[in-house]
Structure 1
Amino acid sequence: MEQLTNLLPVLLGSDANVYGMARSFYMEYGVTSLAIGKGALAATANSRLVKIAVVEPRLEEDEVFVAVMKQFAADHPNTTRVLVSCGDNYTGLMARNRAALEGLYHFACPTPELWEQLDMKENFYKACEAHGIAFPRTFGCTAENWRTVQLPFDFPCIVKASNSVAYWNCKFPHKKKVFIANNRQEFEEIVAAIYSSSYQDSLVLQEYIPGEDCQMRVLNCYSGLDHKVRLMALGRPLLEEQTPEGIGNYAAILSVKDEELMGRMKAFLEDVGWEGFSNFDMKYDVRDGQYKMFEMNPRQGRSSFFVTASGYNLAKWLVDDVVLHKPAELTIADTQSLWMIAPAGILRRYLKDKDLLAQAEALIRAGKASHQLFCKEDFSLKRGIWYIKNQLNNYRKYKRYFGNKSLKD
């Protein structure tokens, strides 16, 4: 068995997900992570837990990525380098360039074929259908045919990109991560705006599942190098973020458990042969009592620190597998806790379900609440000032954007 010496977590990205993973490594092993990304974002600035080691705007180019990763390994000899993707695009880069990374880094990731199959939403829904997993009624359109598309369901209609990586890199006025079109006119305005940008891949048009944000569920899993699921943790989002770029990200999550749902998703992951972290977003449909699957992210979720905070450290599951090669059975997280990235005041103001709010308040009083971006071991004056500004800014954002998923702000 390989010994754990000079552990060096290498995190791809610089966002809140990176900070959450860095906290996980720090909590379990007391180490500082190094990050490599296209840019440097505020969530990881002025931190003792993670340092931005490389910023390379062309990192998404395979040749550049391989060169950067080889040079980084050469610059950090005599370390046990554990590589973690914190974005869909980075997982794709790792998958495509696996042969160049092996021997330099310890990591887990899917094959490039499986990454492409399940990261593209149309392909993911085909896989769901083949495995008997429910998803919203879904249609699609392209840059060529969207003007003549007739939806097979009534408005409102969800409009989102099939290729999340390409959409992330495009720009157009009033861009949002996900749109809701309430009628045909809004639909045409939204799609025309999207296709006025560099994004020219297909769009997913989806039936709207009724219900508040608290009907959502988020599932984070880790599948080992043997393609067996080792860890599953389910969360119940209480609110989503409300900024155009943040729609679909969660502001607060309660840890919950549903063994029947987890059993189905375990069978799915093992049947397709997944390796590494995975993250599923879904919504409970009160009309038929089923969870409707929205997407699978080929990485741990942006909010996945809720798993570590509830007592199941994501970094440990990864290191035990890819470095120490420890055998492990399935663990289903069952500790109740509250995770937040927005302040508690936002929950009190915008969460409509009083029973869920009471549960959240009880967990806060019991000391079972954590905040993604606040870590007392990482406090400094600069980071403290940024954190306060970040939290206060949530009130402005919610007041301006709450409930708005149309083209206009």
Structure 2
Amino acid sequence: MKKSSTAFSRTDLLPVIVGGDISVYALGRQFHEAFGVRSVALGTGVIAAIEHSSIFDVRLVPDFAPKTLLAEVGRIANELAEKRPGATVALLANTDATIEDIISVRDELPDNVVCPVPDRRAFDLVSNKVSFARLCERHGLLTPATQIVSLAGEGGVPPTDLEFPVVAKPASSAEYFSLLGRGFRKVYLMESQEALDRLWSALREEGFAGDFLVQECVRGDDTHMGAITLYFGRDGEALLAGCAQTLLEDHAPSLKGNAVAMVTRDFPELVEKSVELLRSVGYRGFAEVDIKLDPRTGEWLFFEVNPRIGRNSYYLVAGGVNPMRVMVADLVDHQRVVPVHATRRALYTLVPWALLRRYLSGRLLDEVSALVSSGSVFDPQRYAPDMGIRRRVDVELTEMNHFRKFRRYYPKVSDTSF
């Protein structure tokens, strides 16, 4: 596994990362590699790899409600101001719902807190898949054929006229987030109108009254998916770009669509189109664009924008750029940042190679095998300065658990990625 050198510790920076999953660990590692600092994981609970980490301090909160975040982040910022005058709290999160909560209280946070998040207008325009599709149409970007279903009220929902199977997913991930803990999935593949009708009834019984999207099912396994990650600085310019092709996604119901292995790519035309779209709404901070290659046409379709850096942000480090360096130079140090692109070819993975290779074939398998042979492999969990015995055991158990998960949820490659 590739390792990055750790910088001398900065005393004027305290990262506070909301959450407790692997994406939080990856961000903390990026801060530690770049600046030698420990991060605060602010969570309702944390995974063992964070609990037993030497680069994190854990602070538990009962929930992520705006008032809770405001109180706890304010407390941390005030403590920092007393101990280290002039130091800055860098506040990050990696779910749409928490980003929305941070936006709602950002203006009330102490002056020594910076947040790489968009304003409310930009957040609403890009995070809602309905308005995002309209933006794509305006900018000439291709999207899947889509119908909007409103679950507000008690009236019947008209049947779709799209050909089955279809994909169903919430228009707003933030609005839907709480249902993931109640047995609902991030995204559904539906084979019939009857199945759709049962989903609408179940959602209404849970009190969900938002919008859902019904989309054509674009064929293609996990390797047809891709990601574009961008950072827009305080002046609105795109200062960071990176792209990757997905190799394998998590297929557990509540995690469907989260990549667990990627190979870095360079998609300059897609980056340019994404930058143009986001710049048109005055976007600031991190964003991740989900795309899929349509095997019928060979063209990339734009699926959605996540108003955050994304769960797999460490693939940018694999590509040669630590995104926390860019963000801190811009928001904390107020430097003029020369735009950078993460274009180094590398494999990013959260799963063992012995598992990943089962899902690859042909030239892609040959390419990734060559990256493995050359040592161009990056796993954010395996960080040499933070591999005490307990963490090492945690990481190895997590990796072994992937074999069981994939055997249960995705035993072989599917041409629909379901």
Partner of 1:241: 250
The answer on 1:48 being equivalent to 2:57 is: no
- Between 1:160-169 and 1:14-23, the stretch displaced more is 160-169
Q: Report what 1:368 is aligned to.
A: 376
| TM-superposition CA deviations, 1:284-312 (whole Å, max 9, x none) | 11222321111111110101111012220
Q: Is the 8 A contact 1:136 1:294 kept in 2?
A: yes
Query: Among 286, 290, 294, which residue is 2:303 paired with?
Result: 294
Contact 1:14 1:43 in 2 (8 A): no
The CA distance in 2 between the partners of 1:196 and 1:383, in whole Å, is 42
Residues of 2 paired with 1:156 and 1:230: CA distance?
Answer: 40
Given the superposition, is the C-alpha separation of residues 52 and 226 from structure 1 closer, same or farther in structure 2, using an over 3 Å criterion? same
- Structure 1 match to 2:218: 209
Give the AA of the match of 2:147: F
> Using a 3 Å threshold, how does the CA distance of structure 1 residues 145 and 167 change in structure 2: closer, same or farther?
same
Q: Which residue of 2 aligns with 1:150?
A: 159
Residue 138 (structure 2) pairs with residue 130 (structure 1): yes
Per-residue CA deviation, residues 73-130 of structure 1 (Å, 9 max, x unaligned), is 1122213222222221222122222221251212322111221222121121122122
Deviates more, 1:95-104 or 1:130-139: 95-104
Q: Is the 8 A contact 1:224 1:321 kept in 2?
A: yes
Runs of 4+ with deviation above 4 angstroms: 144-147, 171-174
- Structure 1 Cα separation of the partners of residues 271 and 370 of structure 2: 26
Cα deviation digits, residues 159-205 of structure 1 (max 9, x gap): 11122123221257753211100222322233333333243311111
- Extract unaligned runs of 5+ from structure 2: 1-9
Q: Is the 8 A contact 1:21 1:314 kept in 2?
A: no
Taking the aligned partners of 1:242 and 1:341, their CA distance within structure 2 comes to: 14
Give yes or no for the alignment of 1:24 onto 2:34: no
1:12 is displaced (CA, Å) by 1.6
1:392 to 385, 388, 400: 400
CA distance in 1, matches of 2:171, 2:48: 28
Q: How does 1:162-311 map to 2 (within 5 A)?
A: 162-170=171-179, 174-311=183-320
Q: Does structure 1 residue 13 correspond to structure 2 residue 22? A: no
Listed one character per residue, the Cα deviations across residues 244-276 of structure 1 (whole Å, up to 9, x for unaligned) are 111100011000011111111111122211100
> What's the TM-score once normalised by structure 1's chain length?
0.92
1:322 aligns with 2:331: yes
Q: 2:102 aligns with which of 71, 74, 94?
A: 94
Aligned to 1:57: 62
CA offset digits 1:31-63 (Å, max 9, x no partner):
11112133333452211122212x222322x23
Name the SS for the 2:229 alignment partner.
strand
AA partner of residue 176 (structure 1): R
- Is 2:39 aligned against 1:33? yes
Specify whether residues 147 and 366 from structure 1 end up closer, same or farther in structure 2 by C-alpha distance, changes over 3 A only: farther
1:119-172 C-alpha deviation (Å, 9 max, x unpaired): 121121122122222111111212247854232320111111122123221257
Determine if contact 2:15/2:89 at 8 Å carries over to the other structure: yes
Cα RMSD (Å): 2.1
| CA distance, structure 1, for counterparts of residue 180 and residue 376 of structure 2 | 40
* Contact 1:70–1:104 (8 Å) recurs in 2: no
Question: What is the alpha-carbon distance in structure 2 between the residues aligned to residue 174 and residue 102 of structure 1?
Answer: 38
Q: Secondary structure at the match of 2:113?
A: coil
Task: After TM superposition, give the deviation of residue 64 of structure 1 in Å.
Answer: 2.6
Q: Secondary structure at the match of 1:175?
A: coil
TM-score (norm 2): 0.90
Alpha-carbon distance in structure 2 between the residues aligned to 1:32 and 1:56 = 19
Provide the residue aligned with 1:346 in structure 2: 355
What is the CA–CA distance in structure 2 between the aligned matches of 1:139 and 1:195, rounded to whole Å?
19
CA contact (8 A) 2:317 2:342 kept: no
Please name the residue that 1:109 is paired with.
117
Q: How many residues align?
A: 400
Does the 8 Å contact 1:160/1:177 carry over to 2? yes
Q: Aligned with 1:194: secondary structure?
A: helix
1: distance between equivalents of 2:134 and 2:278? Answer: 14
Equivalent pair of 2:26/2:380 in contact (CA under 8 Å): yes
User: Are the counterparts in 2 of residues 173 and 193 from structure 1 also a CA contact under 8 Å?
Assistant: no
- Residue 182 and residue 387 in structure 1: after superposition, are their counterparts in 2 closer, same or farther (change >3 A)? same
C-alpha change, 1:174 and 1:249, in structure 2 (3 Å) is same
Residue 76 of structure 1: aligned partner:
80
In structure 2, distance between residues paired with 1:364 and 1:160: 35
Residues 283 and 291, structure 1, Cα contact 8 Å, conserved in 2: yes
1:123 to 1:277, Cα distance in 2 relative to 1, 3 A: same
Query: What is the CA–CA distance in structure 1 between the aligned matches of 2:42 and 2:203, rounded to whole Å?
Result: 30
Among residues 129, 135, 149, which one is paired with 1:121 in the alignment?
Answer: 129
CA contact (8 A) 2:89 2:114 kept: yes
Q: Identity, % of aligned pairs?
A: 27
Which shows bigger deviation, 97-106 or 152-161? 97-106
* Partner Cα separation in structure 1 for residue 21 and residue 312 of structure 2: 11
Question: In the alignment, is residue 332 of structure 1 matched against residue 341 of structure 2?
Answer: yes
Question: What is the CA deviation profile of residues 315-336 of structure 1, one whole-angstrom value per residue up to 9, with x for unaligned ones?
Answer: 1010010111121233222110
In the alignment, structure 1 segments of 5+ residues that lack a partner are none
Aligned-residue offset at 1:68? 1.7
